[in-house]
Structure 1
Amino acid sequence: MSYLISKLNKAVRTFVSLGKPADCLIVVFFPHIQPHSALRPYVRHYLLLHVQLSNTPSAQRIKPIPPDADQSLFFYPRSVAQTIVNRNGETRPNPSSIFVGQQTSRINILHGEDHLIIQVCFRPGFLYQLLGGMPATEFQGKEIDAECLMDAGITELNNRLREETDYRRMIDLIESYLLKRIDSLARSLQLEPIDRAILAIKETNQLLSLDWIADQACLSSRQLERKFQERLGMGPKFYARIARFDRAFKLKASNPQLDWLDVAYACGYFDYSHLMRDFRQFAEVSPTMLIAQDNASPGTGNRYHG
């Protein structure tokens, strides 16, 4: 517990008021909490955000969520978050905890009035192993109730998170559950060459050839395609596009002074038109419009699912 508290103390940023939208109060934000050492091969980090929106109109509680290069488990211990399912504004309530597969298109999330979200950001492709070899094609772009896929411990965890008021204790409860779950799967959780190839795509700003990726994964081109479909629900080329788009969005969001052309070159695009194409496909709006929509939403400038 002392290890976790020290990590949280380094990560915490507490805000009095966000300013946009009006009446939005960020109670607390832990943007990048490092996991326990035993979980680091599988969990990249945790994010915790608590936002009070009791006086905020629903139109100002919408968060745009374009695709990113990660797979995650999300917990909603307070108000129910809702996914907007069509242009008419109809919504679908999210369960208390959800797995989110690899997104290929944008979704919009309507925050509840007491919005507390905890994100467990996994290493890309890890859900395939955590869920016992469930092909990623079965949950690509979907939000699946974690209680339908995991053991009874996840239901108990959701109940305990709802009762808990200490943020540090919430992370501690989640870590305890994950440590037990991963320990039970230890023999099947070996890091394979394909996993290192996926990470290479996610973390590089360079264009990688399929031959190089296949060589790193010790696979033929056909085997590489099959393994990517198995773990991510898409081929390596398409995943590389999403990873590059994700890098560009995050870079601009955290460095608003940068010109979009500089962002394009820094993230491996040939030119601005190729970056624009990806934003139009994955975010359904121009780069400038996506940043504006993100800045106008609760949790401004923070990349998370909802």
Structure 2
Amino acid sequence: MDAELNGTFIHLGGFVEMVKYRYLYFVVLLTVYILILCTNCTIICLIWTHRNLHQPMYIFIAALSLNSVIFSTVLYPKLFIDVLSPKQVVVHSACMFQYFLYYSSGLSDFLLLSAMSYDRFVSICKPLQYPTVMGRRTVVVLLTLAWFLPACEVAVATVLNSKQKLCDFTTTGIFCNNTILQLHCVKSTFLTFYGLFIMINLLVAPVIFILFTYVKIFIVTYHRCVKVRKKAAETCSPHLMVLLSFSCLSLFDVIIARLESDLPSIVRLIMALQILVYNPLFNPIIYGVKMKEIWKHIRKLFYQLVKQGRH
């Protein structure tokens, strides 16, 4: 078995009423995937092409959108194949690769949100030091850490998972996430503690840091004029909305695998679909509408497209 592990097929058993709703699944997923690509690529292109958006805050937003594109491209094409196939299976090695990209891109978001909160803290609380503190080198370092650190830590977890012997070959999910831990013959204590280390290091610690910086921001702005408080609310509220939604969905991902909660299949499917849809699709919408400078360029682009369509 160990010698043939890389050729093992794993059945994805999280789909509900597949035969009955196969084409509905496909149309919905394809529509959502196209919207995700269009909205996130629009945000990336706007930030790339407009010099007034070449600021740390917008660069981090573009990085979040890039993560959403990677995250979705890792999951959606395989889902298209699954919903149209009579059997929903994946080779073990391909499952591990999806697992790696899923978690490295997802956990990277928390570090990017941490970088954004630090950027807002320096901008609002120490405006005179902002050009020096948040220089180009700082932005490059923060982006490198946000992408490199999760990739390294998740790579170790992926290798450890791939070496575990499997006694079951049917997951309760629709893609390869922590549900594959339930397939192992024996629970690895080291793997459990290492997973806990990753969760604390790349999820809990960034969330605590983000909440701490925003509390400091609100304390500082409380004693300033209404204009400063309004500006802080405009730039910080989108980040907090994204953080709240992403934290809740990440918590669900941990609960179903680590605590092995016995949830109905339909509940698991709905929550898995929310993970697939909510952040990748609504993050660019939230930032596009809430961030005034981005929204201004989006409206301008929309008017140009309408004008060209009339001609």
TM over 0.5: no
What TM-score comes out, normalization by structure 2 length? 0.29
Tell me which protein shows more strand as a share of its residues.
Answer: 1
Q: Which has the higher helix share?
A: 2
Greater relative contact order: 1 or 2 (C-alpha under 8 angstroms, separation 6 or more)? 2
Which structure is larger by alpha-carbon Rg, 1 or 2?
2
